[in-house]
Chains A and B, each alone.
Chain A
């Protein structure tokens, strides 16, 4: 059982959904991101996603792109990402890297996987590569029991969901909306049917958890999604909290903890 699965199993045993929190490494600084992510762990995140800042993200909306650009302008490097992974994973919470594909190719898939494992990372979430074009990563991850989190979307055909869930380990990431990352006022009505379809099409007997992301920004929305999903994934709302408090580090961490607690209560109110 991979480390993400452990966190999902624990949440399931408590009859709740898991809370998955995202921030890019190096935002606002490398040390600042470690502090922020640690705060999120202490305030109730069950799983952490660490974004690898990349110059040409396709799936990121303006909020995350703004943060990522700040991280890049601040000089964050791929090796810094592993440093953040190491620090966050040391808290005991499963820690995954969410990354566009090219930085992995550039470093070498096998080498990247090994460095991730050495840092204590649980696996990768890969928003711009699908299992049918990720054979090298699948091999490298399988050799190390790393989580392979691929995405399914409302537009996915049944055939593709079947193929994708067969290759996932840890959990599958269901994108609740057709669109890029970013907090939204209302939860999506596409999410519940997608989760149901994904669960139905997952390989029999694997009980692959389904995490839902894109658009969640508060406890009430988290509770809505927790009613049918195994995990609720939140990114832009955390990033927005830091962007809104960029001049006051302590206020930012306090607001981050408060948002995490609200969301953690939400996933328990299913």
Chain B
């Protein structure tokens, strides 16, 4: 399957990185002058690379032979029976390193080699992007440093060990909230000082232009593959496509292929944490408050002085107070519907998919499953019998077992005894 990285949609950014035009004001490049040359060079290098058939062919071969792509599109029959709609899972959890993230880093690392740089840096929340970056660095023979919030290194110790085994230096960041946003700040500081020989493998479709576009172009294979697979395997496009949204790379990777199919509903699900109304969440789009964070104007969790408010989610990978600017535009334009899923709803879905289909999802992906469960009755009502929901199963849940053990009490004597308290396990039986 050939990548479609050079194709465009009606919802792309202009040459300055504005989504919806400068008047709408999402995206742009709010960065220190010290980095402007590097960002401009990166943009030019990407435009050049994606138009080069040799680069595209090499990228395709790496994805196929190394990353195990295209990932399958799986008809989850048992989950379908439960929801009353046909559920298709885009199995990004089966990719090398266990998530959609491998696409992004292999693309950016291949570009890094093309640009003649020798070192990569990355930030990571859950650790998936860090592991993927360390993997890509090992594959391409690049030095690698990964910044990770101290809170996240503590809750994702297994991924820290994996990164170190792969040869990366992992730097815990204690400042601020010790989470993803602080890791991004630290990575940007490193980049200011090392930009002549270092590429920043941005982990999501956010940040200053060209990163939102660059990352989107690279990961859009998720949706491109799923679109072809849906038609070939099931005879048509799905009625709805669904993904979890933190920074938004897995979601934009899925959504892009369907943006110009106006008949396809698109739903993004943010991390609702303890519940949007409690204020302890990471539902940035739902909060609907524009600002500038990490180089782009987008929706930001912030107080009345513009100080970033810490986000909260049981999923480290969704625990981010900003969101990719294209998602902000897709929300404002009305093309995509964004709502939130609470920690509890996500963990219930986590348990349900595990027991119902034998697939342990990443907690990020469990938000998408929970979202699909929520919208299934409406989708069925709108589209009738045979309605189809395509869910991006963006990653596998191995990395989240520590959280699951604690949440469900799986390590206690009589595992699952707490299922009364956390109903997911009980309901999934």
Say whether B262 faces chain A, with CB atoms less than 8 Å apart. Answer: no
Say whether A157 faces chain B, with CB atoms less than 8 Å apart. Answer: yes
Whether A160 pairs with B33 at a CB distance below 8 angstroms is: yes
Q: How many A-B residue pairs lie within 8 Å, measured between CB atoms?
A: 109
Contact with B along A139-176 (1 / 0, CB 8 A): 00000000000111111110010001000000000010
- Least CB distance, A153 to chain B, in whole angstroms: 4
Whether A106 pairs with B305 at a CB distance below 8 angstroms is: yes
Among the stretches B58-66, B289-297, B352-360, the one at the interface with A is B289-297
Q: Give the complex CA separation of A69 and B304 in angstroms.
A: 18
Partner of A106, one of B32, B33, B176, B291: B291
Given A55-B308, A105-B306, is A151 in contact with B30 using a C-beta cutoff of 8 Å?
A: no
Given A61-B189, A179-B192, is A103 in contact with B36 using a C-beta cutoff of 8 Å?
A: no
Whether B293 pairs with A102 at a CB distance below 8 angstroms is: yes
When distances are taken between beta carbons in the complex, the residues of chain A under 8 Å from B195 are 155, 178
Whether B32 pairs with A153 at a CB distance below 8 angstroms is: yes
Nearest CB to that of A59 among chain B residues? B32
When distances are taken between beta carbons in the complex, the residues of chain B under 8 Å from A133 are 28-30
**Interface range on chain A (Cβ under 8 Å from partner):** 35 or more
- Where the two chains meet, the residues of A that have a C-beta atom closer than 8 Å to any C-beta of B are 54-59, 61, 65, 69, 72, 77-78, 101-107, 127-130, 133, 150-157, 160, 164, 175, 177-180
Partner of B33, one of A72, A101, A151: A151
Say whether B5 faces chain A, with CB atoms less than 8 Å apart. Answer: no
19 A-B pairs in the complex with CB atoms less than 8 angstroms apart: A54-B307, A55-B176, A56-B176, A56-B308, A69-B175, A72-B307, A101-B292, A105-B292, A105-B297, A128-B31, A128-B295, A129-B30, A151-B32, A153-B32, A154-B34, A155-B38, A156-B34, A180-B192, A180-B193
Contact with A along B195-234 (1 / 0, CB 8 A): 1100000000000000000000000000000000000000
Say whether B188 faces chain A, with CB atoms less than 8 Å apart. Answer: yes
- Least CB distance, B212 to chain A, in whole angstroms: 15
Say whether B185 faces chain A, with CB atoms less than 8 Å apart. Answer: yes
- Least CB distance, A79 to chain B, in whole angstroms: 9
Contact with A along B297-325 (1 / 0, CB 8 A): 10010101111100000000000000000
Whether B34 pairs with A175 at a CB distance below 8 angstroms is: yes
When distances are taken between beta carbons in the complex, the residues of chain B under 8 Å from A61 are 189
